[in-house]
Amino acid sequence: MVAFDKDFIEDEIRILRWNSFIEKKRAVIKTEFPEVMKLIKLFLKPIVDRINNNEKFNKVWI
């Protein structure tokens, strides 16, 4: 998935857009774009892998 690629995560324009978004929303916790993408990947990768392998995802979200 492109969003998990290093080039996507380290793209200067995306980082600038993320920083602008954080400022606009006046975020209390200012997390860097690469860290956010790392967490999103951690959450979504198992699901994406199952879909790509035509497997069921039997986890429950609480």
Q: Would you say residue 59 lies in a domain?
A: no
Q: What is the pTM of this model?
A: 0.79
Query: How confident is the model at residue 10, as a pLDDT?
Result: 96
Section 27-45 average pLDDT: 95
Render 3-49 in DSSP notation, one character per residue.
GGSHHHHT-HHHHHHHHHHHHHTT-SS---HHHHHHHHHHHHHHHHH
Q: Cα separation of 51 and 29, whole Å? A: 33
Q: Would you say residue 58 lies in a domain?
A: no
Q: Would you say residue 61 lies in a domain?
A: no
Per-chain mean pLDDT for the chain: 93
Q: How confident is the model at residue 1 (pLDDT cuts 50, 70, 90)?
A: confident
Residue 36, domain extent: 2-52
Q: How confident is the model at residue 42 (pLDDT cuts 50, 70, 90)?
A: very high
Number of domains comprising the chain? 1
